[in-house]
Chains A and B, each alone.
Chain A
Amino acid sequence: MNLKKTSLFEEHVKLNAKMVPFAGYSMPVQYTSVKNEVYAVRNNCGVFDVSHMGEFFVTGKDAISFVDYLMTNSFASVPMNKAVYSPLCRHDGTIIDDFIAYKLTPERVLLCVNASNIEKDWKWITSVQNEKQFDIELINSSAEYSLLAVQGSKTIENLEKIGLEIEHNLPYYSATEGHFQNSLVIIARTGYTGEDGFEIFIKNEMVETIWKKLIENKVIPCGLAARDVLRLEVCYPLYGHELSDDVLPNECNLNWTIKPEGRDFIGKNSILNSQQRSKLVKISLDKGIPREGYPVTLEDKTNIGVVTSGTMSPTLNKGIALARLNIEKFDSTKPIFVDIRGKLFPAKIQVKPFYVLGAK
């Protein structure tokens, strides 16, 4: 298989990163130690090359209303420069992907989508445009744009050290356009680690300069493994794990993204009238490490669900997971277990994310 490479591929190799196939790309999974990379983000600052992710620009008179129709969350109602997270749903309410939309100007919106879904999302979004006659132009800039996620409490200092002008008061989940050495950059106070941090969208030809400066300034390069652990510690869902083509937003703890009042959006009727079949829960184990695919059971081994993502949390030093439970089989008064290689390990369900500090 011919894997695609991001503009930073050679830099990753120079840093001895372990490269793995991911969404059709050769991506760094870790550089030194997943644990150290997680700690770097939680305590200081780390940088991820996430250039494999997709960037679509929506421009034109109807850009905002188009994106508002595309997502379950409300986009039209938020102020300029805000970023909005939402699932991307079909008319039957099932999930195509999740994405973040950045309201850059009244007529220019950036959509950031998962790498594995770029083609699928593009096909869907263009079909919606054709269906509804929105006055917009859609541009798939995924191949021209790189994306760096610089995450952690010391991010602002580090970005300033390398000469990137950062608006200190930029609210969390907002974006602004700026320049770096005469190249246009989009700087967003977003990320998927639960920490304060910024995502920098930049044309491919400039990304190496920023990356090298960050590394020279001792920002720790972090791989996909650390990113997955970090997002799981704060219980952010991930497409292909918690989110999939078979589930509805209310089955993924995404009720908070469904804003039906006074607006129309794709899948609205299906989502509002749907019967919830399963729920996503946060579980932690005092002993044992839950992994994706492990069964969740009652004490008598009755299967009631499955782990959708699981890991050993370096921050909490215990096994944590998100698990999908069958609503009919789940009884909140009965203890639940994770079946790890045939042995049952008690699991605790909790309401809050495993890690709650960090992001503003």
Chain B
Amino acid sequence: MSHKTPGQLLYTNEHEWAHIDGDIATIGITDFAQSSLGDIVFVELPDVGRVVDQNETFGVVESIKSVSDLYSPLSGEIIEVNNDIESSPEQCNQNPYDSWIIKIKLSNEDEVQSLLSSSDYIDLCNELS
């Protein structure tokens, strides 16, 4: 089954996407992730102002039958969270790339190089399918 993987985004092995705009990264979960999880019923958001390291857990996404950690693709300070996701978590299923979860002000822009391109991420998803 093919999943949407927009070319302008970067990806992680843990199935988050990141949109980089200067030193701000907008982060959500991928189409592959939402499809694997099934009906998403809860997203636990972090506090604004929290500083996270790359690959650190920053929240939780729950489907009817499972609980999965969310990992920060990059290091930095969480400057904004998407409160709409809390009240309508199903948006992550419907529009995973419009349903951002957090925005981070990057503390180490070099880390962006470690993220996967869309073609690398498609390969990863194909291996897992």
Contact = CB atoms under 8 A, between A and B. Distances in A.
Contacts of A228: 65
A35 interface: yes
Contacts, number: 34
Interface in A277-336: 288-289, 291, 311-312, 314
Interface in B25-44: 38-39, 41-42, 44
Which of B44, B60, B65, B67 has its CB near the most chain A CB atoms (within 10 A)?
A: B65
Q: Chain B interface residue count: which class?
A: 10 to 19
B39 A35 contact: yes
A34 interface: yes
B21 to A, nearest CB: 31
A30 interface: yes
A274 interface: no
B42 A34 contact: no
Which of A30, A228, A311, A312 has its CB near the most chain B CB atoms (within 10 A)?
A: A312
B10 to A, nearest CB: 27
Q: Chain A interface residue count: which class?
A: 10 to 19
B128 interface: no
A97 to B, nearest CB: 23
A22 to B, nearest CB: 13
A228 B95 CA distance: 28
A141 interface: no
A314 B42 contact: no
A30 B44 CA distance: 24
A33 interface: yes
Interface string A17-57: 00000000000011001110000000000000000000000
Contacts of A209: none
Instruction: Say what secondary structure dominates the interface of chain A.
Output: mixed
Contacts of A30: 38
A34 B60 contact: no
Contacts of A29: 65
B41 A289 contact: yes
Contacts of B63: 34
Contacts of B1: 16
A229 interface: yes
29 contacts: A16-B1, A29-B65, A30-B38, A33-B38, A33-B39, A34-B39, A34-B63, A34-B64, A34-B65, A35-B39, A35-B64, A225-B38, A225-B64, A225-B65, A228-B65, A229-B65, A288-B42, A289-B41, A289-B42, A289-B62, A289-B67, A291-B67, A311-B65, A312-B41, A312-B42, A312-B62, A312-B64, A314-B39, A314-B64
